[in-house]
Amino acid sequence: MRVEDCVRALCFPDPHAGPDGSYTIRSLYLDSPGRLYYLQTRNGEDKRLKYRIRIYNGSDSRIALERKESLHGKKNKAVSVISREVCDAILSGKEFDPSDEDLMIYAADRAKNLLAPSAVIEYIRDAYVHPVGNVRITFDRRILASSPGDLFAERLAGTDVLRDGSGILEVKYDDVLPGAIGRMLRPFDLQPVSFSKYVGSIDAINGNMGDPA
């Protein structure tokens, strides 16, 4: 039995997923001209930061600017839901009205580090939830990376990030992984690995970037 079959048997489909249990995520990452955030992650720095604009199923009905921070192994994500107008201003480098504190932080970082569109990443996600321990299990597949273009294009012409056709399984939970989930996953002998879609995408598009000159 595949791990996906076991997860489906024990968990519930994400209520935001479509009828087939999946949805498409597209993210545009913002970085400095020297790929500051790419290098922070690739080099495994203790303090790391990423900015991205995320949409679902190619729609502008919900656009989110997300700031992901990692410090001493602990991760935090701040999300600002933005209008299409603000999104277009951010992508074109124009001024916009920062309507909340997180947008003000982004505006300051953009001015300091000259942040601009760096890469677009798209993938299909199957997501499942379990109420005990606030467990969320996701399967990401068909991960494509592209140089910055139209975030809202009908189709993304990109490069496969995982060239062997594999996918990414991620298990998120609050403090302790519930026993039922641990017992379900144990027979598959899964080994945890660290993988950044952003770093993988930049490398897939341009090759390993190395340190900027």
pLDDT in tens, 111-135: 999 999 999 999 999 999 998 888 9
Q: Is residue 47 part of a domain?
A: yes
Residue 56 is predicted with a pLDDT of 95
Per-residue pLDDT at 81 exceeds 60: yes
Per-residue pLDDT at 165 exceeds 80: no
Per-residue pLDDT at 212 exceeds 50: no
Residue 47 is predicted with a pLDDT of 94
Question: Which domain, by its residues, includes 136?
Answer: 3-206
Return d(Cα 67, Cα 53) in angstroms, integer. Answer: 9
pLDDT in tens, 55-67: 999 999 999 999 9
Per-residue pLDDT at 29 exceeds 80: yes
Per-residue pLDDT at 21 exceeds 90: no
Q: Is residue 212 part of a domain?
A: no
Per-residue pLDDT at 173 exceeds 60: yes
CA distances to 108, 182, 213 from 189, in Å: 45, 11, 42
Q: Is residue 213 part of a domain?
A: no
Q: Is residue 37 part of a domain?
A: yes
Residue 118 is predicted with a pLDDT of 97
Residue 66 is predicted with a pLDDT of 98
Residue 208 is predicted with a pLDDT of 52
How many domains is the chain built from? Answer: 1
pLDDT in tens, 201-211: 999 998 654 44
Given pLDDT bands bounded at 50, 70 and 90, which one contains residue 193? Answer: confident
Per-residue pLDDT at 191 exceeds 90: no
**CATH number of residue 122's parent domain:** 3.20.100.30
Return d(Cα 22, Cα 128) in angstroms, integer. Answer: 10
Place of tokens 């790419």: 38
pTM across the whole model? 0.90
User: What is the mean pLDDT of the segment spanning 159-177?
Assistant: 88
At a CB cut-off of 8 Å and minimum separation 6, what does 7 contact?
128, 137, 139, 184
CA distances to 27, 56, 61, 114, 151 from 154, in Å: 14, 12, 15, 28, 9
Q: Is residue 18 part of a domain?
A: yes
Burial class (CB in 10 A: 0-12, 13-18, 19+), 173: middle
Q: Is residue 109 part of a domain?
A: yes
Q: Is residue 192 part of a domain?
A: yes
Q: Compute the Cα dihedral for 155, 156, 159, 162 and give only its sign.
A: negative
Q: Is residue 211 part of a domain?
A: no
Per-residue pLDDT at 73 exceeds 70: yes
The percentage of residues in the chain with a pLDDT greater than 70, rounded to a whole number, is 97
